[in-house]
Amino acid sequence: MSAAQIEIQLIAALTAAACAIPGTFLVLRRMALISDAISHSVVLGIALGFLLVQSLNSPLLILGAALVGLLTALLVELLYRTGLVRQDAAIGLVFTVLFSVGVILISLYARGVHLDVHAVLLGELAFAPLNRLVVAGRDIGPVALYVSAALLAINTVFAALLYKEQKLAAFDPVLATLLGFSPAVIHYSLMGVIALTAVGAFEAVGAVLAVALFIVPAATAYLLADDLAEMLLLSVALGVAAALGGYWLASFLDTSIAGSMATVAGLLFALAWLLAPEQGLLTQRNRRNRQRLALALRAFLVHLLQQEGRTREEAFPEAHLWRELGWDRTFALRILALAEREQLVDRWQGGLRLTDQGRILAREALHGGEEPPRFPKAGGVP
């Protein structure tokens, strides 16, 4: 790997990690799309700043653009408070207009210098190593590396300092207010961090795909984690994985790095959606299947018990099983095999009867105060 390749991956990974931290709080607080709005609106700030200072890396530009991002959150709130439009419409109205003004400014006045409409959509990660930070005549690495590292540091400090407050606001906003935490401070500190991070992410992935780094790793972690600390760590790890995986996918296909990062982040989510240990689609299906089998098994045992009462000392013919329970033959044989394996029934005089253990279970199912077993409807089970 060349030095430039390593630098690009470092910048991508640091940016993704920095985005994942506030992204986690956004996902929990159901405000994911405010990051979409803010990262679009900072384009206006960046365009204005760029026209003023003619550089993308001036700290003034970064702060100014972050302020415009924060202004978006304020404007959305103001518009919503007039009672004239609902919140979703307020978000959709504010950011599209601010973003449009930014794009128009860039197309008319900044085209082709260092900032063009292409960069707005894709970021300029591939060119990031070209812009070096020179201190006292010595080249100490690309500017973007320091910007992204600083963002990660700021966001880590933010999460550490306001962990308790943000956690409470995410899980129980009413209690948070009752305990005297100011909702405005909690809200706007998060918005400020998002705006600052969005400006930093702009160079790496552009305005539209910043959302992918804020939201997708955090949403994936949400499927896998059980508590907030775990979710934060996981979403940072997933963000870094998406950044590195995206970089290599992009160099393999010779295509956009930012787009590939979003794609890989999406693939990771799809994997978690399918395979997550608690909430994955496959786990959910297996759990449903197991529950259905367990229910059918109990129904079968209870049925045998009732037959015992009626025709004492006679074995229960196997073929009655699917006829009387309304199951199809394959399913009935599956349940029978299960019952035999667990030694709940055995064969006797060419038929079936309950073992002692099976009888206990059947009585428990019938009288044990549990939910009475419901017989599956005919044809309702495969």
Contact residues for another protein, defined by CB under 8 A: 26-27, 30-33, 35-36, 79, 82-86, 88-89, 91-93, 96-97, 99-101, 103-104, 107-108, 111, 117, 121-122, 208-209, 211-212, 214-216, 218-219, 222-223, 249-250, 253-256, 258-263, 265-266, 269, 273, 279, 281, 284
Shortest Cβ distance from residue 255 to another protein (Å)? 4
Whichever of 180 and 252 has its CB closer to another protein, that residue is 252
Q: Which is nearer to another protein, 97 or 337 (CB)?
A: 97
- Closer by beta carbon to another protein, 139 or else 227: 227
- Return d(Cα 302, Cα 310) in angstroms, integer: 13
Report whether 180 contacts 173 (CB < 8 A): no
- DSSP3 helix / strand / coil % (the chain, rounded to 5): 75, 5, 20
Min CB(39)–another protein separation in Å = 10
As a whole number of angstroms, the distance between CA 340 and CA 333 comes to 10
Q: How far is the CB of 103 from another protein (least distance, A)?
A: 5
Residue 89 vs 337, nearer CB to another protein: 89
Do residues 76 and 87 touch, judged by C-beta distance below 8 A? Answer: yes
Closest residue by Cα to residue 207 from 41, 39, 33, 92: 39
- Which residue number, 148 or 263, has a Cβ lying nearer to another protein? 263
Min dist. Cβ of residue 83 to another protein (A): 4
Q: Which is nearer to another protein, 30 or 367 (CB)?
A: 30
Least separation in angstroms between residue 285's CB and another protein is 10
What residues are paired with 316 via a beta bridge?
352
Q: Which residues pair with 351 in a beta bridge?
A: 348
Q: Rounded to the nearest 5°, which phi and psi values hold at 276?
A: -50, 135
Cα–Cα distance measured from residue 163 to residue 148, given in angstroms and rounded to the nearest whole number = 21
Q: What is the distance between the alpha carbons of residues 344 and 349, in angstroms, rounded to a whole number? A: 17
Cβ 51 to another protein shortest distance, Å: 15
Shortest distance in whole angstroms from residue 258 CB to another protein: 7
Q: Which of 108/184 has CB closer to another protein?
A: 108
Helix (H, G, I), strand (E, B) or coil at 125: helix
Q: What is the DSSP string of 52-69?
A: HHS-S--HHHHHHHHHHH
Residue type, 124: E
Q: Which of residues 2 and 82 has its CB atom nearest to another protein in the complex? A: 82
- Give the Cα separation of 331 and 342 in Å (integer): 17
Q: From CA 353, how far away is CA 250, in angstroms rounded?
A: 65
Angstrom distances, CA of residue 161 to CA of 1, 198, 200: 38, 21, 21
Q: Which residue, 247 or 316, has its beta carbon nearer to another protein?
A: 247
Shortest distance (Å) from residue 288 CB to another protein: 12
CB 93, min distance to another protein, A? 6
Q: What is the rounded CA–CA span in Å between residue 266 and residue 217?
A: 8
Contact (CB, 8 A) for 19 and 199:
no
